[in-house]
Amino acid sequence: MKTTAAALTAALLLLPATAGPAAAETPDALPGVTQLRRDPGGRPAGCLPASAKGTRLVPWPQTFLRPERVWPLSRGEGVTVAVLGSGVKDGAGLLTGRLDHAPLPGGADPAQDCVGHGTFLAGLIAADQREGTGFAGLAPRARILAVSVTNEAGVGSADLLAQGIKAAADRGARIIAVGIALPSGSDALAAAVRAAHAKGALIVAPAAPDTAPPETGAAKPGPVYPAAYPEVLAVRDLAPGGALPDGPTAVPVGGRVDLAAPGDAVTGPGPAPGGFYTGIGPSFATAFVAGTAALTLGYRPDLTVDQLTRRLEATAYHGPDPRYGHGTVDPVAAVTRLTDEPPTTAPPAATTLAMPPARPATDAPTQATTIALTSLATIALTAAAAALTPRARTRAWRPGRADDR
């Protein structure tokens, strides 16, 4: 029965891992990417230098969100995610064959990325995994549509962003990931957001700037745009392990928070081939929500934008809580849960966040597990038949006698 045992072992390897998460990367030594590259005087600080630092370990957001558990069901195939920011230059080749560009009249070249921020976001959403590194995008088969809505220093405007949102929706993007947070909106931006939503595009944007604004007495920062518009999913960042961050991004936001996602000490690629970078702030969390939406649409392409929004919010956990909005985004539940209703059991307290907690007992088993168990049974039956067939042939398929056994 060695054949049967080997087959059972192979089948067990198909089951989703339930042990502790893989070793997580601590990217302290990696160079940083920011949404703005300006010197203290507000002038452009030059383009992002190439990174010579690689990483073989799995970044903490991947161990936290566990996208590989739904990759047998969806990797974002057939879904276009527009990345609105500083452009996307795929120098590392992690988006080969899945990157398009949408130039805007009077805008910067979306195929270039001096700041490096747009490329970083695109990598978090859809980068391929390469041999020798643990990093991968959340939805590694999704398409990226790059739209540049900033200048070379990463500075954008409401009217240029409005043009970018319109262009992304006109090009058929189902998800629009906005990488910038503006202190004020405009009539044109509000109209573009409404029109994109009417066309079925989900717009995801940071609920606060990546860095704290200058001190202005006791005043707290106000709402940022386009996150302040009701049609937009406003996303805040989480620190490693899922805790609320300290430091600049912990400044209370004046607007609402719809979802939370990893955003601090995250690892991603830059515009030049070679090494990796690290980033901190809500804009990076936006990319993980956009990637989760791409995974969900890849498996459930018939969802409307309102159904997709409801699913992302209802399958989040650790909410509702004003600090987390509806909760922390959960790719596994967003793809596999059989209902959009939130679990009936009470979520864990926000203060107990560590590594990804166990899901509530009322959650339906993932379809990936069901597929693996079916494969296990099929392989076991096939192996048993293979072991018995030679003996049956030697008896010309006649029943065996007691002394043959």
* pLDDT tens track, the chain, 405 positions: 433 333 333 332 333 333 333 344 444 589 899 988 876 666 667 899 999 888 788 999 999 999 999 999 999 999 999 999 999 999 999 999 999 999 999 889 999 999 999 999 999 999 998 888 899 999 999 999 999 999 988 999 999 999 999 999 999 999 999 999 999 999 999 999 999 999 999 999 999 999 755 444 444 568 999 999 999 999 999 999 898 887 655 544 567 899 999 999 999 999 999 899 999 999 999 999 999 999 999 999 999 999 999 999 999 997 667 888 999 999 999 999 986 665 544 333 332 222 233 333 333 333 333 334 444 444 444 444 444 444 444 444 444 444 443
Question: How many Cα atoms sit within 13 Å of 154 on the Cβ side?
Answer: 26
Which amino acid, 114?
C
Q: Which of 290, 242, 235 is nearest to 262 (CA)?
A: 242
Q: Which of 201, 146, 141, 139 is nearest to 179 (CA)?
A: 146
| 3-state percent helix, strand, coil for the chain, nearest multiple of 5 | 35, 15, 50
What are the strands, taking DSSP E only, across 123-247?
143-148, 175-178, 202-206, 232-238
Q: CA–CA separation, 263 vs 344, rounded Å?
A: 28
Domain 22-365 matching CATH 3.40.50.200: the answer reads yes
Is 213:229 a contact under the CB 8 Å cutoff?
no
Q: CA–CA separation, 98 vs 270, rounded Å?
A: 17
Q: Which of 134, 109, 139, 108 is nearest to 122 (CA)?
A: 139
pTM of the prediction? 0.77
Q: CA–CA separation, 3 vs 385, rounded Å?
A: 10
Which letter does DSSP use for residue 317 in this model?
Answer: B
Is 51:268 a contact under the CB 8 Å cutoff?
no
The residues spanned by each domain of the chain are 1-16+373-405, 22-365
Tell me the β-bridge partners of 176. Answer: 82, 203
Q: CA–CA separation, 153 vs 85, rounded Å?
A: 11
Element (H or E) spanning 66, and its range? none
**Residue 178, SS3?**
strand
The sheet with strand 232-238 has its strands ordered as 99-101, 143-148, 80-85, 175-178, 202-206, 232-238, 259-262
Is 257:310 a contact under the CB 8 Å cutoff?
no
